[in-house]
Each structure stands twice: as C-alpha cells, then as structure tokens.
Structure 1
Amino acid sequence: MKHLIIYAHPNGTSLNSLFRQTVEKTLKQQNHEVMVRDLYQLGFDPVLSLEDMEGQRKGMVSEQVSREQEYITWADAITFIYPIWWTGMPAIMKGYIDRVFSYGFAYRYDQGIQKGLLTGKLAYIINSHGKSAAEYGETGMDNALKLTSDKGIYTYCGLNIRQHFFFDRADRATAEMASEWTSKIIDAYA
C-alpha cells in the first residue's frame, strides 16, 4: 500500500514529530511505500492567492501545488499529523488544504451537488492539543473539531476516515502518556 504522511509542526523534537516517526516506522516495517511531506521543512507557501483561485477553476495550478497533488493521487492512504492550535489546524496545514485540495482536484459540483474526488483513499488524522478531553467535551469543542475537519474537509473531499486521534494535554505529556499514544497509533495501522 502507498502511504502519504502530511506533517505540520516546526519543532523536530515535538510530540507530533514522535507521532510522525512512529507512523513512518510502523508502515515501513509492514513493507508499505511511504512518502513524507513535512510542510515546514518544505517551506510550503500556505497563502492562497487570487492567481491560485483563478487557476483552480481552469484546472491550472502552480508547480508546487501540482507536485503535492501528484503525491495525493499516488497515495492509497493519507495520514495528517498536526497539533490543534487555537482550536484549529496550524496555518501552514490550512493553507495546504486551501491550495492543494482545490476545486476540480479534491471536489467539484455536478449540477449544484458537491462531489468528493478523493474517494477510495483512506485517511488517518493525528492531532495533539493542550486542553484536556474533558474540557473539550464540556464546551463541545471536540465535536466542533470533528465537524470542521472530518466533515468539512476530509469526507467532503471523499476520503474514508479510518481513525482520528485527539491526544490531549500534549503540553504536559509524560513518557507513559506518549508510550500509550504511540501504541494506539501502531494499533491503528495493524
């Protein structure tokens, strides 16, 4: 199977980096083909420009966007790894979605009805956040996060979500917590 990892965290020693390394190692041990797109390391330009918007409707995208779309087309499964900052994804990941998951590539409208074009691909989402799961549950933020990302982006584009992890209290994670989380990640790819 061909797995694409789309990763967004600027700190190479972060918990999210540990998650990326765990996924990559697990998949390679299972003899899958793995490609990692580290958005910070790539210096991915997250700014959706007017030129981008006009080009998307004509099926014309920049070389940078075209390259990322080729990776997505190649993949059977995509893993998104990023922290939750200010109750959302980092700007670089949101910009990646804005630019790469473009009209005509990731979705289109047929007679006014939205159609996801990334069907047949599996998706795994791994998020960390600082608040506790209880705090997110009390405010409804847990459901809001799932609604805006899972429904509003991933399934909207036709992806089949296999697993969405929210690892809480990440800024206070102990070695035991990190070990438990990486075990859950490994199990998700079994």
Structure 2
Amino acid sequence: MKTLIIYTHPNHKSLSYSFLQKIINGSSENPSIKEVQVVDLYKEEFNPILVFNESKRRRDMHRDPTLEKYRKQINWADKIVFVYPIWWGRPPAMLMGYIDQLFAANFAYRDKKGLLPEGLLKGKSVVCVSTMKGPTNYPLLWLNNAHKTLMKRALFNFVGIKKVKFFEFGNMESPKGKQAEKLDAVFRYFKKIDR
C-alpha cells in the first residue's frame, strides 16, 4: 500500500504536527505500507488561490503544469491521509485551495449524463485526522456534522472514493484533552491497517 499524507498546519510545533509524526511512525512499522510520501502544504508554500482568466481557464485546470507533481502523487497513492485543524468548522483555506485545484474535472471526476459525475479516483481510500479547540461533539450537535458531510459526501464520494475514515478530536487545547491517548490511537491505527 502506498500512502500519501497531506499535512496542513503552519506550525511544526503544533499538535497536528505530532499527529503527522505518529502517522509516519505507525506507517513505518506496518508491513502492508510499502511507501509513504508527505506533502507539507505550508512548507512547500503551495498557492491556494484559484486564478481564472483568458490564459488560465477552469476547464483546463486538470492540465495545469504547476500542479502536475501533485496530480502524480494522488494517482500514485492507494491511501490519502489528510492532517489538519478544524478552524471555523471547516478545514483551513490552504487545504481547501489544494482541494479546489487538484480535485478538478477530468482528473478527479468526469461529467456524464445524469445527476452525478463519474468518479475517477475509485479504489483509493482516505483518512482524515483533524483537531479542534471545541468539544468533540460540537460539529455534530451545533454544525449538523458539516465538516464530515463536506469531506465525505461533497468531495470524496463525488470523486469515487467510498472508504473514508475520520479521526475528529475535540478539546485539544484543554489539559484534560487526553492528547497522548489520542496520539497513540492514531499510531496504533496506522501500524495495523491493511487497506
């Protein structure tokens, strides 16, 4: 299994970075995971801003040469892991800009007759590891589960990815947040998964 990790946090001393390290460590002890690539969007200074004009058209985004490296990584991966904080009930703008540009028509999906498109990323699986300051049940009770709905239904299912696992950790700025326990749970998950 080839695993691509998309890390989205500007601070390498953050809890999100600790989760990234646990994912890498668990993956390195898993005989089913043969290769791991990490994309650190802030470190790479990924440009999340969409630009459309006379020379850069939306319908050509799937061929944008500046994004070729990232398209190859997505095609290469069997499993895609997203590591990010939840800010204002959703992933950071940096990650959304990556998604806007990479999950483009004729790369991630193809329009066809009917209500839904053809997902072109079938066979891949996704894991989302996210942290937030608020309580764990806040997105479910207050935001009607908007974060998971956005990621699973509006994005991953749309492009053909049906297997999606969430680790959504709340109370992460609290001394009672059980951070070590949650870091260990993620480490153990990546140490054992086989698909």
Output the TM-score relative to the length of structure 2. 0.88
- SS for the counterpart of 1:125 is strand
1:115·1:158 contact (CA, 8 Å) conserved in 2?
yes
Q: Which protein has the bigger helix share?
A: 1
Closer/same/farther in 2, CA of residues 144 and 10 from structure 1, 3 Å limit? same
Deviation at 1:134, TM superposition (A): 3.5
2 CA distance for matches of 1:179 and 1:142?
Answer: 28
Partner AA of 2:154 in structure 1? G
Closer/same/farther in 2, CA of residues 120 and 134 from structure 1, 3 Å limit? closer
Identity across matched positions, percent: 31
2 CA distance for matches of 1:18 and 1:73?
Answer: 27
Of 113-122 and 18-27, the range deviating more from structure 2: 113-122
2 CA distance for matches of 1:157 and 1:173?
Answer: 39
- SS for the counterpart of 2:10 is coil
Residue pairs, 1:135-174, within 5 angstroms = 135-139=138-142, 141=143, 143-173=145-175
Residue pairs, 1:122-137, within 5 angstroms = 122-137=125-140
Partner AA of 1:130 in structure 2? K
Deviation at 1:173, TM superposition (A): 4.8
CA RMSD of aligned residues (A): 1.7
Matched with 1:178 is 179
Residue pairs, 1:5-154, within 5 angstroms = 5-31=5-31, 32=33, 33-50=35-52, 51=56, 53-56=58-61, 59-63=62-66, 65-112=67-114, 113-139=116-142, 141=143, 143-154=145-156
2:6·2:40 contact (CA, 8 Å) conserved in 1?
yes
Matched with 2:188 is 187
Task: Tell me the alpha carbon deviations over residues 74-106 of structure 1, each in whole angstroms, 9 at most, x when there is no partner.
Answer: 001010010000111111100000011111111
Partner AA of 1:22 in structure 2? K
2 CA distance for matches of 1:93 and 1:133?
Answer: 21
1:2·1:74 contact (CA, 8 Å) conserved in 2?
yes
Output the TM-score relative to the length of structure 1. 0.90
**Total equivalences in the alignment:** 185
Partner AA of 2:19 in structure 1? F
- SS for the counterpart of 2:42 is helix
Task: Tell me the alpha carbon deviations over residues 153-172 of structure 1, each in whole angstroms, 9 at most, x when there is no partner.
Answer: 12211123341011001122
Partner AA of 1:187 in structure 2? R
Task: Tell me the alpha carbon deviations over residues 93-134 of structure 1, each in whole angstroms, 9 at most, x when there is no partner.
Answer: 000000111111111111143121111011100010111024
1 CA distance for matches of 2:144 and 2:12?
Answer: 27
Of 161-170 and 68-77, the range deviating more from structure 2: 161-170
Partner AA of 1:179 in structure 2? A
2 CA distance for matches of 1:52 and 1:28?
Answer: 41
